[in-house]
């Protein structure tokens, strides 16, 4: 665990850890300006999950036409950008990571519950993204040399990502900044190839159809919220590295400018490819659609690079912080454990259409309520004021579990399960309202109230 002696001093004078070391202590030295933050999010948001979700919106998997799918993605990603800023303010202001931020609402021991709920999907995503990236490299090798061994490529791909994750946020920053430029260029090129080569098929299969504005449309917005809701929870892990001078409004704009273009390009490519081929697997789609070997290799290398930039930022760092808190180990050891655990998630089973969508919908039902509890606690219970010394005091009033928060997320999750397509939206008010009322009127919540400190 963290050195308690370093915590029991004025919160603005907490000693920074050594260069390159990741710590759960408040971050005073910020390594990202607004431009670096933009490119970090751009690189981190190019997820193959976005491709798959785009493919799930249109026939044969979905019921939307191109216009409806486009609006669903824009609405979902606008909500995401706003939610990221709302939940990231505590991390930006105080320099604390997600696992410490949740201590004010869940308690020091209780924070491990939302930490675990957040960490499990991240580790599974790490494995899925790695499997897709390894499949892309394996197909490149087949095309160039005839060599075919996806297991070898999976192991090599994992070793590369684990090595990058172990470098910490300073290493992640440069991976994202450099990778985002290559990714953006590849996205534009693949979008051009799709729209010029298959324009007739795209019109017939996903533009001219009537589609629907009903529950499937709003479920489409939730699909993208499901992908990003993990990042919405632990956004403080990123915003604690952002220059303090960046205002919340500008942070929202930066996140929107990074998320929306990347998601639209990936989602549109996915839904157009699925509409043309009826396939959902991105590797099969690109293998079938790309007009020549050169374009195919570019597309597959893009997929591999996109998995690296997404994994090291979104699926490696957050669960590593959770492991640091739970097991009291260093960041490097925690990052190594995340990579090793992802080997055992059976990603080849999850990366199939039915299982993948169900996986995203189910964990969204739990992550939405956690987000709601964190927001209500910070803005309405704490009034945006945190006592850092209490959050790090293992013998103080926050030690233990705040059962109010646990009850609230269970209430939210049960409501979410009623209509799984709208799980993220439907869970917010029940979870937040339950938390606020219990904190105000339930005697067992007294130790966690601001006026008892």
b/e burial code for range 117-129 (CB count within 10 A of at least 16 → b)? bbbbbbbbbbbbb
63 φ, ψ to 5°? -125, 5
Better-predicted residue by pLDDT, 43 or 235: 235
Q: What is the pLDDT of residue 56?
A: 74
State the average pLDDT over residues 408-437: 89
Q: Which long-range contacts (CB under 8 A, 24 or more apart) does 293-298 make?
A: 293/143, 295/193, 296/139, 296/143, 297/140, 297/143, 297/144, 298/186, 298/189, 298/190
Summarize pLDDT for 166-180 with one digit per residue, the tens: 776 665 555 555 555
Among 38-47, 343-352, 442-451, the range of highest mean pLDDT: 442-451
Summarize pLDDT for 256-310 with one digit per residue, the tens: 888 887 777 777 777 777 777 766 666 776 666 666 777 777 777 777 777 777 7
- For residue 162, pLDDT beyond 90: no
- Is 150 part of any domain? yes
- Is 418 part of any domain? no
- For residue 153, pLDDT beyond 80: yes
Q: What is the pLDDT of residue 289?
A: 64
Q: Is the dihedral of CA 252, 258, 264, 266 positive or negative?
A: negative
- Is 367 part of any domain? no
- Is 105 part of any domain? yes
Lowest mean pLDDT among 84-98, 101-115, 169-183, 358-372: 169-183
- Is 21 part of any domain? no
Query: Would you call 242 helix, strand, or coil by DSSP?
Result: strand
- Written as six digits, the tokens of 449 are 């109230």
Provide the domain limits for residue 310.
39-352
Instruction: Tell which residue, 389, 393, 376, has the closest CA to residue 438.
Output: 376
- Is 151 part of any domain? yes
- For residue 4, pLDDT beyond 70: no
- Is 195 part of any domain? yes
Summarize pLDDT for 32-43 with one digit per residue, the tens: 888 888 877 876
Residue 71 to residue 424: CA distance in whole angstroms: 18
Report residue 6's pLDDT band, with 50, 70 and 90 as the boundaries. very low
Among 143-147, 272-276, 362-366, 432-436, the range of highest mean pLDDT: 432-436
- For residue 451, pLDDT beyond 70: no
- For residue 104, pLDDT beyond 90: yes
- Please give the span between the terminal C-alpha atoms of the chain, in angstroms, as a whole number: 23
Residue 147 sits in a domain whose CATH number is 1.10.4160.10
- For residue 1, pLDDT beyond 50: no
- Is 15 part of any domain? no
Q: Would you call 396 exposed, middle or buried from its count of C-beta atoms within 10 A (0-12, 13-18, 19+)? A: middle
Number of compact structural domains in the chain: 1
Better-predicted residue by pLDDT, 70 or 181: 70
């Amino acid at each position: 665990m963290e050195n308690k002696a370093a915590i029991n001093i004025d919160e603005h004078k907490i000693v920074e850890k050594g260069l390159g070391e990741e710590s759960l202590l408040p971050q005073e030295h910020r390594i990202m300006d607004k431009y670096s933050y933009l490119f970090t999010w751009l690189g981190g948001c190019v997820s193959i999950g976005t491709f798959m979700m785009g493919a799930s919106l249109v026939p044969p998997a979905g019921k939307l036409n191109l216009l409806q799918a486009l609006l669903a993605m824009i609405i979902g990603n606008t909500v995401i950008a706003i939610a990221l800023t709302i939940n990231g303010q505590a991390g930006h202001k105080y320099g604390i990571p997600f696992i410490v931020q949740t201590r004010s609402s869940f308690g020091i021991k209780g924070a491990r519950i939302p930490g675990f709920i957040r960490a499990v999907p991240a580790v599974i995503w790490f494995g899925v993204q790695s499997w897709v990236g390894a499949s892309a490299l394996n197909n490149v090798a087949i095309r160039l040399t005839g060599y075919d061994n996806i297991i070898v490529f999976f192991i090599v791909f994992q070793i590369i990502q684990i090595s990058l994750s172990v470098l910490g946020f300073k290493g992640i920053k440069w991976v994202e900044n450099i990778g985002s430029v290559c990714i953006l260029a590849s996205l534009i090129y693949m979008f051009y190839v799709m729209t010029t080569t298959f324009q007739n098929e795209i019109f017939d299969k996903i533009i001219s159809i009537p589609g629907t504005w009903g529950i499937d449309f709003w479920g489409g917005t939730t699909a993208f919220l499901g992908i990003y809701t993990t990042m919405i929870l632990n956004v403080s892990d990123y915003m604690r590295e952002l220059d303090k001078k960046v205002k919340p409004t500008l942070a929202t704009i930066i996140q929107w400018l990074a998320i929306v273009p990347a998601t639209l390009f990936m989602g549109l490519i996915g839904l157009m490819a699925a509409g043309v081929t009826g396939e959902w697997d991105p590797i099969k789609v690109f293998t079938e659609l790309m007009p020549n070997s050169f374009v195919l290799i570019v597309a597959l290398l893009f997929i591999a690079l996109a998995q690296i930039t997404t994994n090291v930022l979104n699926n490696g760092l957050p669960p590593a912080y959770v492991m640091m808190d739970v097991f009291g180990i260093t960041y490097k050891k925690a990052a190594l454990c995340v990579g090793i655990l992802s080997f055992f998630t059976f990603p080849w089973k999850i990366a199939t259409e039915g299982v993948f969508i169900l996986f995203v919908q189910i964990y969204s039902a739990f992550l939405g309520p956690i987000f709601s509890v964190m927001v209500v606690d910070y803005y309405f219970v704490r009034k945006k004021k945190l006592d850092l010394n209490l959050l790090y005091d293992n013998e103080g009033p926050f030690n233990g579990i705040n059962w109010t928060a646990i009850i609230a997320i269970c209430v939210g999750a049960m409501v979410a399960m009623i209509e799984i397509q709208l799980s993220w939206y439907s869970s917010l008010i029940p979870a937040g309202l339950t938390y606020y009322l219990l904190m105000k009127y339930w005697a067992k919540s007294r130790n966690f109230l601001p006026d008892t400190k």
